[in-house]
């Protein structure tokens, strides 16, 4: 029984996701009074009515007591977690014991992250975000919500089944030679060719990577690209998985099956998962660059050809030639720019293997300017609301005169044709007239003007990057032909490896190779938090597959132990404990977090901040805890590159503790030794 | 000592009881439903706000989940919630307090109220809001007072430091209680010294409730509303009405105190005991009752006696085959003397009762379950069944208090009262003198290690931390202990854990019956945090086993 709800302060539902049990529960409570005919509005109404008292009470508590609800627990162990981001209240509910408070809080943060990736800086203006999340048009709304729901389900599925999403770090396929070849291929052949083509329509490929299911085969960033953060990469993998879900049962079928269906067998291309994703095809239309134009209407001979050559079947995948707009963090020399617009091209090579291209769009400089202005106004607003006035409020970089000049130029550059621009100009003129009086203009009265300016800037941003209309904008993407060529190039390259890769992704590394050296070791996970990469023996638990853990209940049991160990150690880490050992039933669990410098020298354990229970979840997907931790720790290690590692192990309880600790030590040093580094 | 507990002096930030039945109509104001609100100085509109919001939200959530709300957490406070009929209790603590402790505190508070006041609904029908508000305030301040933070985390009883006390004194205390129990109207008792348990025959929960009254009479002996005292006993004896839940009563009755002494269901045996009672008191049979256990080459049973909470343990052991070292020698092993005496005793029984309340016998029979059902370990929420009125009898000798749960008509039974009074008086005086002379131990010297050992069955805590301020050096230990305790409570299969922060490594281990926490001081904790078997943190289990033996904690 699960639910996730996003609501405005006035209890307007901005998004909801419920599993069938929760839906049934709500409908039972609401009785059959609602008309059956209109499924969605009726359900939306009832869920809104049921949650309204809680939502209203939340804002009352904030307004009048300055405190807010964080969670509720009932006697039958239903858990409600609440979190407010600006004016949006997120409520996550679990009533089946499958998720704890931490999981629910994480889900809320992940949902917020996905919304940020999809809407960028529009999320900074609550009023605009509200409109974006709840389009007036019910059909459009249904499509958007369906897409978000399916993203959420994809995430939940990955978190429950994929170790890399359990610990929130990227897992690479361990095959150094092939990886190297692929990276070279991406660099020398693919990206170069794409970026020198005229058909790229001003876009520039910054990153290219190949995913085998959720695992990374190769990742290449062009030289002038900033690093793609782990958080963004994980979010993109979720999106790719959502577009082309790995059908576990299919993938785990016998190798013969794969052989028979490989190549160009029509049945193999895309088998949609039966129940929750049945609306996937329609959901694809929610975020195309060309606004609300349905993708299906787009009939392009090139695309048609591409589809023919791929033998796409009855349920077509979302049109791959329409890129998705994603907003990712960019770090440049002059600072960090969050939520910069990119286009994401997700090109399926074979079922389970996907090529992802991330491009910089020609107008992205606008986004940087908008961000700079937004930041300046936010700073000013903060100082004003702290009671500063006059020159005290305008101190700091950039100076208000700087901003003034730049913004004047910016507005001029945008040109009068933009509708929003006239509004921005209007508000800006008003703002200028207020501060024209010099220092005396900077007082509390200016706060509202700051807010207005921010909203206007977000509006411009929305207009530039979320809705691009008019036929003139069509060529703003890699041409379908170019995309197809990229697809074919990589397919040719990997043709001989394809089956191997699909198997390898299921058995990246296996416990077998460790049993001899580490008797009694059942499982381990090792994470390099500085690069956001992890390595762990595969834990495949399917009916048909027998892993080293055996199959059936025992394997499930160990899997559940590993999952709960991760959440337990996170709880201790949140409270400042970086070493945890537990004797639990027949098992002995260890967790270590430590720091090293670049040369591998182990640094002294430092204080780890103690965080409140309702702090952001520890991980890298929704909020990069480890980046903050490294920054905190590096304060005492100036001039040194600090790396952070984590190791989790599961041993049989009968193994003496000294032996277990020796194993841990060996694992910790071995796994990341350059000579044996399996991640290269 | 209270000053030393400053950081924890206000464990509870908010507490209120709200009666939803008072706010039904449109025009009813929230304030009419507020029965009690703590802190009392809170402005009324803030009280209304908090009550209104929490009650409303809780109701909404319970409707969604078809189950009452247990915990409402806010950013700065967490509230434990109890709902019973129209009553709504909420107790708010700072978020650092473990959730389980917040829930226990609220349950203790409600249970305390029900123990001394009876059914909540009836109390509010019979008494004024103000007088009951005063009660809530007393109970709350009692539960918040004194004890260390560790006591609060574990919600355990405060006991005398048994390591400083001659075990014979504990034995003596247990014997006094046994002697009192020979009066059929006495159900069970406990002996307290300066607010700490010396010996008890009751469950930890019940003992905790009794301790409230003791501390009230001790700190405010002249309270006008104080329960009746008996002038004939020089003001040292008092009593108050109390209410037991059905399960508590069954538990007390089913304790393996010799069934022969229990009057309710077995009149024959109880009358048989009468003679024993009248002929023997502790003070005049020192030879028989003390010779056996004080024998140095003691048997297993005698060794058990040295356990500071022996009588408690014997009460809790439902196994009839277990050794019962404290039984008077006369009844030890065989029931035949009683069988022989039966006819004769029966007549005595009636004569004994005729001077008191003649009808009480039948009255009792109608009320008491017969035969007593087996003891249930679960303690229900109060008021699951109507509370059963009983009387708490208190006999104070300076800092020492003998508290007995007695049948209500005990008070009108002068003979029984005199008997209980006189049979225990001399022993209590002696015990008090001895306990008073015991030096409170050397609390100062902080040892090379800190430990806390919780006996989950008796709900008692042994620690070398108690008595010292909850100051900076112990903070890491208390914090780790509180986290580990919550983890143990939530994960049944967890047996032991070592957790280490930059400043401290703490080892925790538990079995069904106990939880032990250990931290070694000194020695550099500096390390890289990378797995290393030579790391001092991993030698903690061995050190704990070793060091704690001398505190009577066996981790082997």
Lowest mean per-residue pLDDT among A259-273, B48-62, B121-135: A259-273
The Cα angle at residue A624 between residues A621 and A628, in degrees rounded to 5: 170
Any B CB within 8 A of A127 CB: no
Q: For chain A, percent helix, then strand, then coil, each to nearest 5?
A: 50, 20, 30
Of these ranges, A18-32, A359-373, A563-577, the one predicted with the greatest mean pLDDT is A563-577
Nearest to A576 among B73, B495, B501 (CB): B501
Chain B residues closer than 8 Å to A608 by CB: 501-502
Give residue A437's pLDDT. Answer: 66
Give residue B35's pLDDT. Answer: 93
pLDDT at B262 over 60: no
Do A198 and A213 have their domain in common? Answer: yes
Sequence-separated (6 or more) residues with CB below 8 Å from residue A496: none
Compare all CA atoms of chain A with the CA of B496 and give the residue at the minimum distance: A583
Do A561 and A642 have their domain in common? Answer: yes
Compare all CA atoms of chain A with the CA of B83 and give the residue at the minimum distance: A75
Q: Say if CB B205 and CB B196 are below 8 A apart.
A: no
Any B CB within 8 A of A611 CB: no
pLDDT at B470 over 60: no
Given pLDDT bands bounded at 50, 70 and 90, which one contains residue A578? very high
Higher pLDDT among residues A537 and A674, named by residue: A537
Higher pLDDT among residues B26 and A164, named by residue: A164
Chain A residues closer than 8 Å to B480 by CB: 577
Give residue A271's pLDDT. Answer: 39
Instruction: Decide if A74 and B50 are in contact by the 8 Å CB cutoff.
Output: no
Q: Say if CB B352 and CB B286 are below 8 A apart.
A: no
Q: Which of B149, B49, B122 is nearest to B90 (CA)?
A: B49
Give residue B264's pLDDT. Answer: 41
Give residue A545's pLDDT. Answer: 54
Is there a shared CATH topology between the B167-221+232-253+386-437 domain and the B449-551 domain? yes
Lowest mean per-residue pLDDT among A151-155, A335-339, A544-548, B211-215: A544-548
Nearest to A584 among B72, B494, B530 (CB): B494
Q: Which of A45, A17, A223, A21 is nearest to A110 (CA)?
A: A17
Lowest mean per-residue pLDDT among A105-109, A426-430, B196-200: A426-430
Q: Which of A662, A678, A659, A671 is nearest to A526 (CA)?
A: A671
pLDDT at B495 over 70: yes
Any B CB within 8 A of A451 CB: no
Count of CA atoms in the C-beta half-sphere (13 A) of B519: 26
Do A575 and A648 have their domain in common? Answer: yes
Chain B residues closer than 8 Å to A647 by CB: 531
Do A24 and A120 have their domain in common? Answer: yes
Instruction: Decide if A658 and B533 are in contact by the 8 Å CB cutoff.
Output: yes
Chain B residues closer than 8 Å to A72 by CB: 57-58, 61, 69, 71-73
Top-level CATH class of B167-221+232-253+386-437? alpha beta
Count of CA atoms in the C-beta half-sphere (13 A) of B11: 26
Interface of A with B in 19-38 (CB under 8 A): 25, 29
Give residue A253's pLDDT. Answer: 43
Chain B residues closer than 8 Å to A22 by CB: none
Do A639 and A604 have their domain in common? Answer: yes
Instruction: Decide if A68 and B57 are in contact by the 8 Å CB cutoff.
Output: no
Read off the CATH number of the domain in which A135 is found.
3.30.450.70
Lowest mean per-residue pLDDT among A368-382, A422-436, B362-376: B362-376
Q: Which of A94, A121, A72, A86 is nearest to A22 (CA)?
A: A94
Chain A residues closer than 8 Å to B497 by CB: 580-583
Question: Could you read off the pLDDT of B401-455 as tens digits, one per residue?
Answer: 999 999 998 988 888 888 888 888 889 999 999 888 876 655 545 678 899 999 9
Give residue A297's pLDDT. Answer: 34
Does some domain include residue A53?
yes
Give residue A544's pLDDT. Answer: 55
Average pLDDT of A236-264?
62
Give residue B11's pLDDT. Answer: 78
Does some domain include residue A269?
no
The CATH fold of domain B449-551? Beta-Lactamase (3.30.450)
Chain A residues closer than 8 Å to B482 by CB: none
Q: Tell which of A7, A577, A584, A597 to mutate to test the B interface (max B CBs under 10 Å).
A: A577
Given pLDDT bands bounded at 50, 70 and 90, which one contains residue B336? very low
Instruction: Decide if B67 and A61 are in contact by the 8 Å CB cutoff.
Output: no
Instruction: Decide if A575 and B493 are in contact by the 8 Å CB cutoff.
Output: no
Chain A residues closer than 8 Å to B68 by CB: 74-75
Higher pLDDT among residues B307 and A73, named by residue: A73
Give residue B493's pLDDT. Answer: 94
Give residue A89's pLDDT. Answer: 96
CA dihedral (B260, B263, B265, B269) in degrees, to 10, reads: 40
Give residue B10's pLDDT. Answer: 62
- Residues spanned by the domain of A58: 2-33+40-158
Average pLDDT of A258-266?
37
Q: Tell which of B98, B501, B540 to mutate to test the A interface (max A CBs under 10 Å).
A: B501
Instruction: Decide if B498 and A76 are in contact by the 8 Å CB cutoff.
Output: no
Average pLDDT of A440-457?
85
Instruction: Decide if A577 and B500 are in contact by the 8 Å CB cutoff.
Output: yes
Nearest to A594 among B71, B487, B528 (CB): B528
Compare all CA atoms of chain B with the CA of A594 and give the residue at the minimum distance: B529
Instruction: Decide if B529 and A69 are in contact by the 8 Å CB cutoff.
Output: no
The CATH fold of domain B14-145? Beta-Lactamase (3.30.450)
Lowest mean per-residue pLDDT among A482-491, B12-21, B208-217: B208-217
Instruction: Decide if B499 and A75 are in contact by the 8 Å CB cutoff.
Output: no
**Long-range CB contacts for residues B32-37, cutoff 8 Å, separation at least 24:** B35/B87, B35/B124, B35/B129, B35/B132, B35/B133, B35/B136, B36/B129, B36/B132, B36/B133, B36/B136, B36/B137
Q: Please give the Cα distance from A57 to B50 (Å, whole number).
A: 10
Give residue B230's pLDDT. Answer: 58
Query: Looking at the 3D structure of chain A, how many domains does it have?
Result: 4
Average pLDDT of B159-175?
85
Q: What average pLDDT does the structure give for chain B?
A: 74
Q: Nearest-CA distance from A374 to chain B in Å?
A: 29
pLDDT at A78 over 90: yes
Does some domain include residue A271?
no
Do A456 and A488 have their domain in common? Answer: no
Q: Nearest-CA distance from A603 to chain B in Å?
A: 5
The H or E element containing residue A91 is strand A88-94
Do A534 and A658 have their domain in common? Answer: yes
Chain B residues closer than 8 Å to A29 by CB: 63-64
Q: Please give the Cα distance from B512 to B433 (Å, whole number).
A: 37
Question: Could you read off the pLDDT of B500-554 as tens digits, one per residue?
Answer: 988 889 999 999 999 999 998 865 556 677 888 778 888 899 999 998 888 888 8
Compare all CA atoms of chain B with the CA of A596 and give the residue at the minimum distance: B528
Structure tokens of B304?
A: 């058990």
Among positive and negative, which fits the CA dihedral B38, B42, B44, B45? negative
Chain A residues closer than 8 Å to B64 by CB: 25, 29, 50-51, 78, 93
Q: What count of residues does chain A have?
A: 680
Q: Nearest-CA distance from A121 to chain B in Å?
A: 27
pLDDT at A292 over 80: no
Chain A residues closer than 8 Å to B543 by CB: none
Q: Say if CB B69 and CB B54 are below 8 A apart.
A: no
Nearest to B533 among A75, A602, A662 (CB): A662
Given pLDDT bands bounded at 50, 70 and 90, which one contains residue A285? very low
Give residue A673's pLDDT. Answer: 59
**β-pair type (B505-510, A587-597):** unpaired
pLDDT at B305 over 80: no
Question: Could you read off the pLDDT of A545-561 as tens digits, one per residue?
Answer: 555 555 677 788 889 99
Chain A residues closer than 8 Å to B483 by CB: 571-572, 575, 577
Nearest to B495 among A580, A584, A608 (CB): A584
The H or E element containing residue A564 is helix A553-574
Question: Could you read off the pLDDT of B383-405 as tens digits, one per residue?
Answer: 467 889 999 999 988 889 999 99
Q: Nearest-CA distance from A654 to chain B in Å?
A: 13
Compare all CA atoms of chain A with the CA of B483 and give the residue at the minimum distance: A572
Given pLDDT bands bounded at 50, 70 and 90, which one contains residue A384? confident
Chain A residues closer than 8 Å to B102 by CB: none
Compare all CA atoms of chain B with the CA of A100 and give the residue at the minimum distance: B490
Q: Say if CB B353 and CB B361 are below 8 A apart.
A: yes
Given pLDDT bands bounded at 50, 70 and 90, which one contains residue A320? low
Give residue A355's pLDDT. Answer: 96
Q: What does B8-51 look like in DSSP terms, one character per residue? A: GS--EEEEEEEEGGG--STT--HHHHEEEEESTTS-HHHHHHHH
Q: Please give the Cα distance from A82 to A70 (Å, whole number).
A: 5
Nearest to A592 among B495, B496, B530 (CB): B530
Instruction: Decide if B533 and A602 are in contact by the 8 Å CB cutoff.
Output: no
Q: Please give the Cα distance from A244 to A346 (Å, whole number).
A: 9
Give residue A556's pLDDT. Answer: 86
Chain A residues closer than 8 Å to B498 by CB: 579-581
How many percent of chain B have pLDDT more than 90?
Answer: 37
Give residue A317's pLDDT. Answer: 45
Q: How far apart are the first and last CA of chain B?
A: 35
User: From start to end of A538-577, where are the E strands?
Assistant: none
Give residue A162's pLDDT. Answer: 94
Higher pLDDT among residues A543 and A106, named by residue: A106
Give residue A346's pLDDT. Answer: 94
Q: Tell which of A16, A69, A73, A81 to mutate to test the B interface (max B CBs under 10 Å).
A: A73
Nearest to B61 among A80, A605, A668 (CB): A80
Q: What does B125-150 look like in DSSP terms, one character per residue? A: HHS-HHHHHHHHHHHHHHHHSS--HH
Instruction: Decide if B529 and A70 are in contact by the 8 Å CB cutoff.
Output: no
pLDDT at B368 over 50: no
Give residue A212's pLDDT. Answer: 95
Given pLDDT bands bounded at 50, 70 and 90, which one contains residue A264? very low
Given pLDDT bands bounded at 50, 70 and 90, which one contains residue A621? very high
Any B CB within 8 A of A18 CB: no
Give residue B303's pLDDT. Answer: 35
Does some domain include residue A124?
yes
What global pTM score does this model have? 0.83
Compare all CA atoms of chain A with the CA of B99 and give the residue at the minimum distance: A73
Bridge partners, A645 (sequence order): A528, A594
The H or E element containing residue A652 is strand A642-652
Give residue A605's pLDDT. Answer: 81
Q: Domain locations in chain B?
A: 14-145, 167-221+232-253+386-437, 449-551
Round the CA-based radius of gyration of chain B to a whole number and report it.
Answer: 25
Any B CB within 8 A of A437 CB: no
Do A56 and A152 have their domain in common? Answer: yes
């Amino acid at each position: 029984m699960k639910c996730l709800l996003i609501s405005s302060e006035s209890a307007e539902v901005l998004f909801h996701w419920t599993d069938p049990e929760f839906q049934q529960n709500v409908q039972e409570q609401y009785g059959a009074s609602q008309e059956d005919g209109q499924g969605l509005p009726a359900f939306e109404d009832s869920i809104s009515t049921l949650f309204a008292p809680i939502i209203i009470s939340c804002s009352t508590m904030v307004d009048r007591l300055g405190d807010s609800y964080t969670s509720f627990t009932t006697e039958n162990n239903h858990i409600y977690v609440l979190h407010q981001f600006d004016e949006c209240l997120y409520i996550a509910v679990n009533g089946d014991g499958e998720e704890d408070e931490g999981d629910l809080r994480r889900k809320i943060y992940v949902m917020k992250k996905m919304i940020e990736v999809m809407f960028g800086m529009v999320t900074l203006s609550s009023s605009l975000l509200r409109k974006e999340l709840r389009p007036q048009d019910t059909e459009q709304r249904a499509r958007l919500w369906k897409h978000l729901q399916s993203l959420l389900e994809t995430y939940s599925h990955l978190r429950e089944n994929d170790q890399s999403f359990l610990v929130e770090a990227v897992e690479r396929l361990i095959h150094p030679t092939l990886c190297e070849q692929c990276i070279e291929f991406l660099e020398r052949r693919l990206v170069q060719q794409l970026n020198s083509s005229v058909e790229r329509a001003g876009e520039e490929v910054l990153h290219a990577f190949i995913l085998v299911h959720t695992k990374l085969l190769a990742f290449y960033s062009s030289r002038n690209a900033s690093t793609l953060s782990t958080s963004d990469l994980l979010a993109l993998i979720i999106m790719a998985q959502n577009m082309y879900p790995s059908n576990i049962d299919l993938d785990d079928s016998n190798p013969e099956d794969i052989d028979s269906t490989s190549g160009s067998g029509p049945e193999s291309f895309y088998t949609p998962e039966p129940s929750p994703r049945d609306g996937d095809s329609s959901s694809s239309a929610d975020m195309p660059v060309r606004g609300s134009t349905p993708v299906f209407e787009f009939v392009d001979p090139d695309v048609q050809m591409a589809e023919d050559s791929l033998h796409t079947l009855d349920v077509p995948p979302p049109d791959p030639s329409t890129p998705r707009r994603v907003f990712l963090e960019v770090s440049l020399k002059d600072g960090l720019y969050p939520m910069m617009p990119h286009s994401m091209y997700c090109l399926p090579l074979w079922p389970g293997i996907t090529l992802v291209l991330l491009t910089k769009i020609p107008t992205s400089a606008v986004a940087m300017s908008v961000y700079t202005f937004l930041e300046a106004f936010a700073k000013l607003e903060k100082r004003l609301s702290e009671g500063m006035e006059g020159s005290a409020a305008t101190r700091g970089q950039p100076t208000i005169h700087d901003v003034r000049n730049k913004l004047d130029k910016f507005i001029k550059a945008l040109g009068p044709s933009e509708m929003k621009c006239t509004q921005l100009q209007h508000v800006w003129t008003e703002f200028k007239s207020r501060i024209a009086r010099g220092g005396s203009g900077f007082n509390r009265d200016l706060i509202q003007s700051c807010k207005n300016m921010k909203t206007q800037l977000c509006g411009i941003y929305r207009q530039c990057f979320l809705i691009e209309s008019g036929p003139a904008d069509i060529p703003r993407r890699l041409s379908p032909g170019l995309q197809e060529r990229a697809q074919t190039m990589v397919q040719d390259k990997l043709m001989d490896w394809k089956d191997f890769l699909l198997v390898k992704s299921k058995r990246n590394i296996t416990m077998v190779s460790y049993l001899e050296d580490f008797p009694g070791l059942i499982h381990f996970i090792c994470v390099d938090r500085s690069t956001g990469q992890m390595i762990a023996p595969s834990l495949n638990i399917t009916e048909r597959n027998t892993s080293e853990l055996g199959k059936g209940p025992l394997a499930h049991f160990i899997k559940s132990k590993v999952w709960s160990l991760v959440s337990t150690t996170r709880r201790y880490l949140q409270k400042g404990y970086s070493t945890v050992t537990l004797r639990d039933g027949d098992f002995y669990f260890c967790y270590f977090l430590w720091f090293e410098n670049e040369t591998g020298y182990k640094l002294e354990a430092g204080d780890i901040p103690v965080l409140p229970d309702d702090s952001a979840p520890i991980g890298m997907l929704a909020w990069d805890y480890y980046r903050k931790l490294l920054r905190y720790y590096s304060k005492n290690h100036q001039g040194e590159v600090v790396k952070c590692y984590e190791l989790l192990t599961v041993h049989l309880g009968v193994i003496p503790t000294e032996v277990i600790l020796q194993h841990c030590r060996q694992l910790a040093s071995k796994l990341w030794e350059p000579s044996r580094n399996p991640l290269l | 000592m209270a000053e030393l507990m400053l950081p924890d002096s206000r464990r509870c930030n908010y507490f209120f009881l709200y009666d939803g039945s008072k706010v039904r109509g449109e025009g009813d104001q929230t304030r009419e439903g507020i029965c009690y609100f703590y802190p009392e100085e809170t402005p009324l509109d803030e009280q209304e706000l908090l009550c209104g919001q929490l009650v409303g939200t809780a109701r909404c959530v319970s409707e969604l989940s078809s189950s009452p709300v247990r915990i409402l957490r806010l950013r700065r406070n967490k509230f434990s919630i109890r709902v019973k009929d129209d009553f709504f209790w909420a107790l708010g603590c700072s978020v650092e307090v473990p959730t389980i402790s917040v829930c226990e505190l609220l349950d203790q508070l409600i249970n305390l109220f029900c123990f001394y006041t009876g059914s909540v609904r009836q109390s509010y029908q019979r008494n004024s809001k103000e007088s009951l508000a005063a009660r809530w305030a007393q109970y709350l301040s009692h539960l918040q007072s004194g004890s260390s933070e560790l006591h609060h985390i574990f919600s355990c009883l405060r006991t005398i430091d048994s390591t400083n006390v001659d075990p014979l004194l504990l034995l003596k205390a247990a014997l006094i209680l046994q002697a009192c129990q020979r009066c059929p109207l006495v159900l069970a008792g406990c002996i307290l010294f300066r607010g700490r348990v010396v010996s008890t025959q009751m469950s930890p929960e019940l003992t905790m409730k009794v301790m409230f009254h003791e501390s009230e009479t001790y700190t405010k002996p002249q309270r006008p509303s104080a329960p009746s005292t008996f002038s004939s006993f020089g003001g040292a004896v008092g009593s108050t009405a109390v209410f037991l839940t059905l399960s508590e009563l069954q538990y007390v009755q089913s304790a393996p105190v010799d069934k022969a002494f229990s009057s309710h269901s077995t009149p024959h045996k109880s009358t048989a005991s009468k003679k024993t009672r009248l002929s023997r008191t502790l003070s005049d049979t020192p030879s028989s009752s003390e010779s056996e256990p004080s024998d140095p080459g003691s048997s297993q049973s005698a060794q058990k006696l040295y356990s500071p909470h022996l009588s408690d343990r014997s009460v809790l052991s439902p196994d009839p085959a277990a050794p019962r070292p404290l039984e008077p020698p006369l009844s030890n092993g065989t029931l035949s003397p009683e069988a022989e005496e039966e006819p004769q005793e029966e007549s005595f029984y009636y004569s004994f009762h005729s001077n008191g309340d003649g009808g009480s016998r039948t009255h009792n029979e109608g009320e008491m379950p017969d035969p007593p059902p087996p003891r249930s370990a679960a303690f229900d929420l109060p008021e699951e069944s109507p509370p059963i009125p009983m009387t708490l009898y208190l006999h104070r000798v300076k800092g020492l208090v003998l508290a007995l749960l007695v049948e209500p008509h005990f008070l009108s039974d002068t003979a029984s009262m005199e008997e209980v009074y006189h049979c225990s008086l001399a022993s209590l005086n002696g015990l008090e003198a001895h306990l008073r002379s015991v030096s409170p131990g050397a609390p100062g010297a902080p040892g090379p290690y800190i430990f806390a050992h919780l006996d989950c069955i008796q709900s008692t805590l042994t620690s070398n931390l108690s008595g010292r301020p909850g100051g900076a050096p112990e903070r890491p230990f208390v914090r780790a202990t509180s986290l580990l305790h919550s983890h143990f409570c939530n994960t049944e299969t967890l047996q032991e854990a070592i957790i280490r922060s930059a400043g401290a490594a703490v080892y925790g281990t538990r079995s069904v019956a106990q939880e032990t926490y250990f931290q070694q001081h000194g020695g550099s904790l500096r390390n890289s945090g990378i797995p290393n078997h030579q790391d001092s943190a991993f030698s903690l289990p061995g050190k704990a086993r070793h060091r704690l033996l001398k505190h009577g904690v066996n981790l082997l």
